Structure 1
């Protein structure tokens, strides 16, 4: 059983800007796992931070929790044009992930946002909510990954045909996302290489999502493409950040070299992503039971 005092201690770590970023990330994912109104309240408090990376992950976690009590703060973040585009984008995606139709009209409004990443995200969130309405009782997130995705995986199982849809920029973005998550669920080298091709096409939002999916898939075949995208200074920071985190999750020696090479990157969100990814790398290569270890850090070993 988790006590209120323990939740408070984990929350204090999250909101303390003096703490190492990796410790704050571990606290965040611990709160995500705990859930409930107190966890949501602590996560919501951290949106006043000056790290776009941390705020992006706050919104992501609130969406994954799928608790309607997080809707008001996510709406505020989406509406706040002072927030960085990658933070507003993630708030829109989180509102779609929660799946409550009460935000449908708001998401339609922001589907015309002047920031393209926000507009495209809200368009996808609208389509996800409409898909849920058209398929009542069906699980929108399926397969081996415990994540709530911005689009349900396509029913198609052929990797070659899925690749064609993924890379066809004339196709609706929602269809390409469905192909993306179907490829992730298919797994294996062929799917990883097909996804890695997506790092070279589409919008920044699309490439960002490809990086995220490759991190979930954790196949080393994609390492060269992820490292190349991370090294590309002309690439969008939100794409480079996701490539860094994917390399941390894949956790092969080549990933370590790429992450260390950009640990002092002039782009803050990339630099911080490498810092967090190096911590993820150590977790993936080490003996720890779980990454979200906020409770273990509070409780002495028996």
Structure 2
């Protein structure tokens, strides 16, 4: 059983800017796993931080928790034009992930936001909520991943056809996302290479999501394309950040040089993503039982 004092200690780590970013991330994902109103409160307080990367992950975790008690803070973040676009985008995506139709109108309102990443995210979230309403009587499909995705996977299973849909910029974005998640679920080298092609087309939001999905898939075939996108200084930092995290998740020796080359990148979100990705690499290649080890750190602080 987790005590209130333990949750507070983990929350204090998350909210302490003097702590290494890696430790704060591990605390965040621990709180996500614990859930409940106290965890939501601690995560919500951290939106005052000055790290766009951390705030992006706060919103992501609140969406993945699918607890409607997080809706008010996510709406506030979406509305706050002083927040970085990648943070507002993730708040919109999180509202879609929670899946409560009460946020449909606010998402529709921000579907025409002047920041294109925010607008596209809210459009996708509206489509997801409408899809959920239309399929409310159907059993949820059990996929190989535990994430709550911004679009359900397409029912098509042919990798070639899914690749065509993924790369077809004439298709609605929601349909391309469905192809993206179906390719991820299909797995294997052919699917990884098809997804990697998506790093060269579509909007920054689309390419950002491609990076995220390749991190979930964890196939080494995508490493050259991810490393090239990370190294491209003219690429949107949102995309470069997600490519860095994907390389950390894939955790092959070929990923290390790319990540180490950008730990001093001029873009803060990129260099911070490389720091976190190197920590993820260490976890993936080490003996630790779980990445979200905040509770373990609280109970055995000397370990």
Q: TM-score band, normalised by the shorter chain? A: over 0.9
2:157 corresponds to which residue? 157
Q: How does 1:197-212 map to 2 (within 5 A)?
A: 197-212=197-212
Distance in 1, Cα, partners of 2:283 & 2:102: 39
The alignment covers a number of residue pairs equal to 302
Residues in 2 aligned to 1:168 and 1:198: alpha-carbon distance in whole angstroms: 10
Instruction: Provide the C-alpha distance between the structure 2 equivalents of 1:141 and 1:282, rounded to a whole number of angstroms.
Output: 32
Query: Which secondary structure does the structure 1 equivalent of 2:112 belong to?
Result: coil
For residues 79 and 129 of structure 1, do their structure 2 counterparts lie closer, same or farther at Cα, with a shift above 3 Å needed?
same
- CA deviations on 1:144-182 (whole Å, 9 max, x unpaired) are 000000000000000000000000001100000000000
CA separation in 2, counterparts of 1:88 and 1:142? Answer: 29
Correspondence for 1:186: 186
The within-5 A match list for 1:76-87 is: 76-87=76-87
Say yes or no: does 1:2 pair with 2:7: no
TM-score (norm 2): 0.98
Is 1:31 aligned to residue 31 of structure 2? Answer: yes
Are the equivalent residues in 2 in contact too, given 1:140–1:151 (CA < 8 A)? no
RMSD: 1.1
Separation in 1, partners of 2:260, 2:139: 39
Q: Residue 55 of structure 1 aligns with which residue?
A: 55
Distance 1:240 1:276 in 2: 13
Match of 2:116 in 1: 116
* SS of match in other structure, 2:149: coil
* CA offsets 1:227-246 (integer angstroms, 9 cap, x no match): 00000000000000000000
- Unaligned stretches of 5+ in structure 2? none
CA positional deviation for 1:140: 5.6
Encode CA deviations 1:11-40: one digit per residue, 9 max, x unaligned. Answer: 000000000000000000000000000000
Q: Point out 4+ residue stretches in structure 1 off by more than 6 angstroms.
A: none
Write out aligned runs for 1:1-302 (5 A): 1-138=1-138, 142-300=142-300
Q: Deviation of residue 142 (structure 1)?
A: 3.6
**1:141 CA drift (Å):** 6.2
Q: CA deviation at 1:137?
A: 3.6
CA spacing shift, 1:81–1:139, aligned 2, 3 Å: farther
How high is the TM-score relative to the length of structure 1?
0.99
Q: Distance in 2 between matches of 1:208 and 1:285?
A: 25
Give the distance between the partners of 2:230 and 2:142, measured in 1 at CA: 29
SS in 1 for 2:195: helix
